[in-house]
Amino acid sequence: MTETDLDAVIHAPARLRIVATLATLGPGDELGFPKLRALLDMTAGNLSTHLRKLEDAGYVEVTKTHEGRTPATYLKLTDRGRTAFRDYRTALAGLLKGTGA
């Protein structure tokens, strides 16, 4: 196994941090965009760019709504995203052990 066998969508450091953070939530649970941004200490633009790639891959679901008159964005890991992250962790553990998973 080589680094190229790892999921390139998740492997980028910022996206790995996003997926790992969202994976701590229970299935179906959501996290608000401002909270995720604060937890990861990322700019809104940078976080949005990486979320778009994760959303395009089907790993993250983005829900835009309003709370009163204020726009609100909520994020959650999809079942596909959870599976991809689990597979990524397994592949990475195998790579680190030198076993090829």
Secondary structure class of 53 (helix, strand, coil)? helix
User: What pTM, to 2 d.p., does this model score?
Assistant: 0.90
Establish if 100 belongs to a structural domain.
no
Does residue 24 belong to any structural domain of this protein? yes
Residue 64: φ, ψ to 5°: -105, 130
For residue 12, tell me if it sits in a domain. yes
Q: Is residue 16 in a domain?
A: yes
Residues 6 or more apart whose Cβ sits within 8 Å of residue 37: 43, 44, 47
The total number of structural domains in the chain stands at 1
77 with 25: CB under 8 angstroms?
yes
How many CA atoms are closer than 13 Å to the CA of 80, on its beta-carbon side?
A: 10
Q: Answer yes or no: is 22 within a domain.
A: yes
Select the more confidently predicted residue: 1 or 55: 55
DSSP 27: T
Cα separation, 65 vs 38, whole angstroms: 20
Assigned domain for 101 exists: no
CATH number at residue 56: 1.10.10.10
- The string of pLDDT tens digits covering residues 47-75 is 999 999 999 999 999 999 998 999 999 99
Range of the domain at 30: 3-94
